[in-house]
Amino acid sequence: MKISLDFSGKSFKGASLSVHGAFEGGLLPKTTKKFEGKEGESFLSAEILWLGLGKKEKYSLEKARRAAAKALSQAKALQAGTLALDMEAMLGAFNPSEVTAAVVEGARLSSYRFDKYKSKRSPVSEPSVLTLVFPPKPDARMASAVRKALHEAEIVSGAVTFARDLANEPPNVMTPPALAAAAKEMAKKNGLICRVLGRAEMKKLGMGGILGVSQGSIFEPQFIILENKVASDARPVVLVGKGITFDTGGISIKPSGDMDKMKFDMCGAAAVIGAMKAVAELKFPMKVVGLAPVCENMPGSTAQRPGDILRISNGKTVEVLNTDAEGRLILADALSYAKRYAPKALVDIATLTGACAATFSDRAIAVMGTDPELVAKIERAGEKTGERCWELPLWDEYLELIRATYADIQNISKKAAGTITAGMFLKEFADHTKSWAHLDIAGTAWNDNSPKPLSPIGATGVGVRLFVELLKEL
């Protein structure tokens, strides 16, 4: 589907379906059926589709995305060949470029499918063209900003699709070496620097966390390093993503129900790799580094045991009381590795704790950090992208819950507060910078049993758009 812009209004005449938004309590079409403009409502009259946008004072960019997704869904159902979307009402109180980006994202992300392993694929029935129609005779500066927003939204949506594809691959295909190969290929296509450390190099660096977690797997662990090529002496922003390509829980094995979903335990790494793709294609002028520690967590005869003590690359020791709390172990080495970059800001993202999903369901990302300004920027980026974040505390008292008997710290809490104590654990390895934040996406990384407006069942690609927006702020 091609997405184009129209600043003349002529596209309405030739379109198979014209779409207009209406706010609740605003100017509504005269219909024979009840249509009040409430969010989610729609009304079809001849070749015109009316979408309810809800109350204008509660309108958001996320609602614009969802309205675009609904318009496309209706167009598919009607088998409309071309679609013209009236952007005037869609703007609300936002500027045209912001809404353009949101609408493009809504259309692209809602159209995502992962069906490469289906022997018989359903035919694609989406329109060949989606035209965003603006009022005639626009201001030249506004028109230029809208064109730029369309271009950038296409890039960001493509990066989310790439991250989804990585995470949706079955675990027998997306092994640690395969993920490293995918990162290398992406980097080569987009002019990024990519290096991958293997087991031998990790041993030299003393990366006891990732080596311990991976020792039960037949696949060698990978440590992916991505950097954009920019002529800048400024300190970089470093993004770190957890990459467990399959998580059985190790010796502390998980229940069998839904264990197939544990292929999604590398969604943090996928988000970082996808974000780096966007960074390259958007030609960000700032230095950005992406780190992804990648391995499997398997219960083989050589697997680490509860009671083992590991030494992380920064010298701190960890008593492993539960081998299913493995993500923090590999992130500990990655956060420690980031010290060499003297980062301006350091942010990690991970499907880290079931406690996060229990707290927020699939509605929010848990954020914790040492820099209130960085956390505030993450929260603003989350509101703008619809990948909303909510801060949890990192009070010193929580550290007492992970002090170990035989090592410096242990990898699970002595009591509850699973999400917070996981954050406290990671904080011990990010103490080389004053600006660090941790994002727990355990509840938002994939859809279990039902699709969402912007994504089907499977990986959501959460984090990619959040990172891009955060980097713009930084």
Catalytic residues: 254, 328
Question: What tokens appear for 293 in the block?
Answer: 């520690």
